[in-house]
Structure 1
Amino acid sequence: MGGVAGTAGVNPYVQLVRAPAALSVLGDTVTGAAAAGRPLRGRRLALPLASVAIYWSGMALNDWADRELDAVERPERPIPSGRISAPRALGVAAGLTGAGLGLAAVAGGRDALKVAAPLAAAVWAYDVVVKKTPLAPAAMAVCRSLDVLLGAGRSGAAKALVPAAVLGGHTLGVTALSAGEVHGASPARAAGALALTSASAAAAVSGRGGAPAHRVAALAAAAGYGVSVGSKQYAAVRKPTAAVVRTATAAGIHGMVPLQAALAARRGGVLGAGLVALALPLAKRLGRKVSPT
């Protein structure tokens, strides 16, 4: 995914890894942990950091893999602009991957590594091999789903399959639409993303049981998600120009936060959901300085 944002004076490494966008990733492990009934406490608090490190590695690897295309379409990015060399960017990606796996091992031992290792492998496969194929949106969705399962661990993965699938479905739509950030998209593609957003919002609040307070909190977060993301995607359906698609893509990335909050709250993680929701205003503010895409 690519985009345009004012980057004057921004550290090139911050731009390379899309540092502020990591705020939209923290809630993945919170959501998975809530679904599995394994709150993030003690050493497990390192799981969101492991998730962020692997996410940042993917962003650096993305720019390394796209360096020739970016020289034409996005010359302001760190590699084509000459602020970071291609070998250095690849080294950053490898280092962050190692850091993510190390943090996962500290947080959850083999149980966490059994998810973190496939997640890291999926990220590298996406950026290096799959991204330029029709399977790219599905591959990105798999990465996001695995990130949710990281919070649950291998032993709790079965309980977190639904929220993992919901966030994966949302990612599928956002990634497919983001292909039109430079040259525009088709109304059908934008409509597909909107349909997935609607389905994700409904799935986030579905299910039986749960305390009334949890259901109300989930409904409020899901409504915020549906409106904030859906309105931008509807605009892309009506006018799928590159500029409108970029706006819809950025909204989709930021929309991860209220969707995570809805999923966590529905499964009893109201405190975690509240903390996740606090990341949204900061993510939007920082996103004006460093593009999240």
Structure 2
Amino acid sequence: MRAWAELLRVPALFTVPGDALAGAGALCAPPGHRTLLAIGSSLCLYEAGMVLNDWADRAEDAAERPHRPLPSGRVSPTTAFTVACAFTAAGLALAARAGRPALTIAAPLAVTVWSYDLALKHTPAGPFAMAAARGLDLLLGAAATGGRARPALASAALLATHTCAVTNLSRQETHEGTPTAALAALATTGALTWLLHRPLPPGGPAHHLSQNHLSRNHLSRNRRSSNCQSSNRRSPGEEAPGRHQPPARAGHRPAHHSSAPLTSVLATAYAAATARSYLHASLNPSPPLTQRAVGAGIRATIPLQAALMARSGATATALITAALAPVARRLARRVSIT
């Protein structure tokens, strides 16, 4: 069990559900059973990538990390490869159950995962492939929940940018590196935190959802008012119809206004989760400090996902997702997250 926990990197699993939930939040849609299927698909494809990563790197790990499950002999390469294939098949099957739009995203996601582990990991395209996988994972949640992914592109881009910076830093986990990667990750965190603190534009999905809700509530009233205008004559002192609209109730305000404080708190938590470790790794880019920084970057995915949800107005889902962070941190003390 210990060997499989290390191979599957169990603490990192807590960073996966937030992808699909952030995708659903970008549509301003409550998570449903299709969202749960997307989360299951994401978990399977993520674990397929974890196992396949160790299978592809078993010769390198034999020299640099002989304690890992495969080079130590605790898990056989054949078993690992079979499990990776099974996880991939399960992930695609769950996506298919969630609907054709979800499968349309899950298929290239699976291809990206396998391409990264088998061909792209040690090339300059490696960090971008890993970033694409995270972005596609968020879009998978949107496609499964609402049948469309385009409204979630902005959130996917922010999550992918964070992933690219962390993956680039992880390339020097096993050898003495340079401060550049850690400084780039630190700058990326600062830029993303600044973007998260900025409110969504008035034309954002949360605004349209609120406006559409108000329009439906007052549609019949407006029609009756229009009919009265055509049949009744106003007196000179009478106010023009349609000039005064009933004020929107507090619960109907655009979501990005009501959730702005929570978004700021979660964005600050995201920055705080990584800044110190990135700074230490930039001052001393040794393998231990770099590994610690990479672990912090992976765990920081959770408050980043939660901030994206809160920014879209999904405050309850954001709080539930943020609660996964301390659980992942506690498990990471027992099982390495990298």
TM-score category by the smaller chain?
Answer: over 0.9
**Correspondence for 1:27:** 18
What is the aligned counterpart of 2:153 among 135, 147, 161?
161
Query: Is 1:133 paired with 2:126?
Result: no
Of the three residues 205, 224, 246, the one matched with 2:291 is: 246
Name the counterpart of 2:172: 180
Corresponding pairs, count: 283
**Aligned residue type for 1:189:** A
Runs of 5+ consecutive residues of structure 2 not aligned to the other structure: 203-254
Distance in 2 of aligned mates of 1:52 and 1:166: 20
Q: 1:119 aligns with which of 94, 109, 116?
A: 109
2:72 equivalent to 1:81 = yes
Letter in 2 for 1:205: H
Whether 2:238 is the aligned partner of 1:193: answer no
Q: Are positions 1:42 and 2:33 aligned together?
A: yes
Alignment-derived partner of residue 5 in structure 1: none
Structure 1 residue runs of 4+, over 4 Å off?
none
Q: Which residue of 2 aligns with 1:272?
A: 317
Shift of 1:66: 0.1
Unaligned runs of 5+ in 1: 1-9
The whole-number CA distance in structure 1 between the counterparts of 2:194 and 2:258 is 18
The residue aligned with 1:4 is none
Q: Contact 2:37 / 2:94 at 8 angstroms: preserved in 1?
A: yes
Compute the TM-score of the two structures, normalised by the length of structure 2. 0.81
TM-score by length of 1: 0.93
For the residue of structure 2 that corresponds to 1:177, the secondary structure is helix
Quote how far apart the aligned CAs of 1:272 are: 0.9
In the aligned structure 2, how far is the partner of 1:37 from the partner of 1:211?
A: 11
CA distance in 1, matches of 2:312, 2:296: 25
Opposite residue 276 of structure 1, the aligned amino acid is T
**Amino acid in structure 1 at the alignment position of 2:9:** R
What's the CA shift for 1:242?
A: 1.1
For 1:42 and 1:142, the matched residues in 2 are separated by: 25
Q: Distance in 2 between matches of 1:274 and 1:164?
A: 19
Percent identical across equivalent pairs?
43
Which structure: larger Rg? Answer: 2
Partner of 2:137: 147
State whether residues 170 and 197 of structure 1, in contact with CA within 8 Å, keep that contact through their aligned partners in structure 2: yes
Q: CA deviation at 1:43?
A: 3.5
